[in-house]
Amino acid sequence: MKKTPLFLLMIFSFCLNVNAQKENYEVYALSFASVAHPSPISLMADKGPDKDSMNIDFMIWLIKGNNGKNILVDAGFLNDMEDAKGFDIGKYMRPDSTLLKLGLKATDITDIIISHPHWDHIDGVGLFPNAHVWMQKEDYNYFVSTAWQKGGNHGGFNKRDVRMMLDINLAGRLTLVDGDDKEIIPGIKVYTGSRHTFNSQYALVQTGTNKIILASDNIWIYYNLEHLAPASKGGTFDPTAYVKSMQRMKTLVTDTKYIIPGHDAKIFSIFPTVAEGVVKIK
């Protein structure tokens, strides 16, 4: 009987240590560029209104862990990208420089989760020399091979990004994720389904208080989510899958405010500002 309190104390201490070691994350959205003028919602959402407009931002998302991990979802693009010239880009700051607002250098980034390989999300990967890159296997294979074959679709892809990803793979810094609902890093899962590109993915992050979905272009703007409207023409291989993916996301979080679209500047009025163009999602 005299040993029981000590035994219970040991069990209690063990539980505390396990809880302390559990990975929790802080999540930030960072705007590194924007379209200089408002855009009609119909540009981003199928059958969306022409008369209503919204502001489009280009973003990266930082997942900062208590485990030493500094993880990006997507890596942005470099301003010399030829494809960017048709977007009337304003307020551009290179993605690695944007991270300085949070006190992080490019070499501090440990991992990059690529949601999909369009130039505005993948072109900046080379800025982060220490990062291990995570990408869907089917999306990668389509990006580097099938998309460039007869009958393939390489819209939004850039050849220099293909070469960069081949080099990263050859350097051993790429992990190809094979399918849906995979925990790739403790506390972080990736899911597929919207088919924004051949097999695009989004990330679900456990913060310790809430689960946050970084949807990237699996949801372009809040209107898509609020009205269950697929991306406008060319925004997905499968409009029905795009909608089903959003419906599924709603079942994965306790509050839909924690589902974060890829390009809607509205996010910067929803969450608390940390620095100019940076909010903490909480």
Q: Report how many domains make up the chain.
A: 1
Q: Is residue 145 part of a domain?
A: yes
| pLDDT tens readout for residues 224-250 | 999 999 999 989 999 999 999 999 999
Q: Is the pLDDT of residue 267 over 70?
A: yes
Q: Is residue 37 part of a domain?
A: yes
Q: Average pLDDT of 100-123? A: 98
- Domain extent, residue 127, equals 23-280
Q: Average pLDDT of 95-100? A: 98
Residue holding tokens 């959003």?
246
**CATH code for the domain in which residue 159 is found:** 3.60.15.10
Q: Is residue 12 part of a domain?
A: no
Q: Is the pLDDT of residue 42 over 90?
A: yes
pLDDT > 90: percent of the chain: 88
User: pLDDT grade, residue 11 (50/70/90)?
Assistant: low
Q: Is residue 6 part of a domain?
A: no
CA–CA separation, 78 and 97 (whole Å):
11
Region of poorest pLDDT, from 11-15, 60-64, 199-203: 11-15
Q: Is the pLDDT of residue 74 over 60?
A: yes
Q: Average pLDDT of 30-35? A: 97
